[in-house]
Amino acid sequence: MSKQGRWEHFEHMADIGVRGIGETPEEAFAQTALAMTAVICDPALINPQEKVTVEIAREDDDLDGLLVDFLNAVIYEMAVRQMLFSRFQVSIDDHRLKAECWGEPVDREKHQPAVEVKGATYTELKVARTEEGQWVAQCVLDV
């Protein structure tokens, strides 16, 4: 992961928007997932000690759709494993995405999780390259 990657949250009345910015789509995706973790708790509190891999294959070349699929796959792993992730390594090859998600089981005392993410939505969804050449990946989460 390069050092330039960063994430931010943006306003949505009912919920919250997550945005990842990076040199490549992969890095922007990874940062968006980190922004999603930050909706739940401070990512710095999560020890990236355990790896979970998610893989997605789409039939089309819809990069926007791939972002929603990716975030929903991470939401699913968080829910069924009761884990939180603080490091993501994403690779995208044509219509396929593979991500290594590093984290640990939820510890309510340690992580103080504020809210559960129900799903990633198509609202304010965008994966695009800015004029400066950076990649931005964003959408609104339902919490």
Partner 1 sequence: MDISQLEPVNECLWRISPTGKMRAPVLIFADRELVQAMDDKVAEQAANVTTLPGIVGACYVMPDAHWGYGFPIGGVAAFDPDRGGVISAGGVGFDISCGVRTLGTGLKRDAIEPVKQTLAEALFSTIPAGVGSRGQISLSEPEMDAMLAGGAKWAVEQGYGRPEDLERIEEKGVMAGAVPSEVSAKARKRQRREMGTLGSGNHYLEVQVISDIYSPEKARVLGLDLDDVVVTIHCGSRGLGHQIGTEYLKKMQKAAQEAGIELPDRELACAPLNSAVGQSYLGAMRAAINCALANRQIITHLVRKVFADLFPEANLALIYDVSHNTCKLESHGFDGKERQVYVHRKGATRAFGPGHPALPEVFREIGQPVIIGGSMGTASYILTGAPESEKLSLSSACHGAGRRMSRRQASKTWQGKTLISELEHQGVIVRSPSFRGVAEEAPEAYKDVDAVVRVADKAGLASLVVKMRPLVCIKG
Question: Which residues of this protein are in contact with partner 1, per CB under 8 A?
Answer: 9-16, 40, 65, 68-69, 72, 75-76, 79-80, 82, 106-108, 111-116, 118-123, 125, 140, 142-143
**b or e along 119-131 (b: 16 or more beta carbons within 10 Å of the residue's beta carbon)?**
ebbeeebebeeee
Cβ nearer to partner 1, comparing 51 with 114: 114
For residue 5, the minimal CB distance to partner 1 (Å) is 21
Taking the least distance from each CB to partner 1, the nearer of 115 and 128 is 115
Are 88 and 52 contacting, i.e. CB atoms less than 8 angstroms apart?
Answer: no
Q: Measured from the CB atom, is 87 or 111 closer to partner 1?
A: 111
Least distance in angstroms from the C-beta of 120 to partner 1: 8
**Closer CB to partner 1, 13 or 44, in the complex:** 13
Sheet with 96-105, side-by-side order of all strands: 50-57, 96-105, 83-93
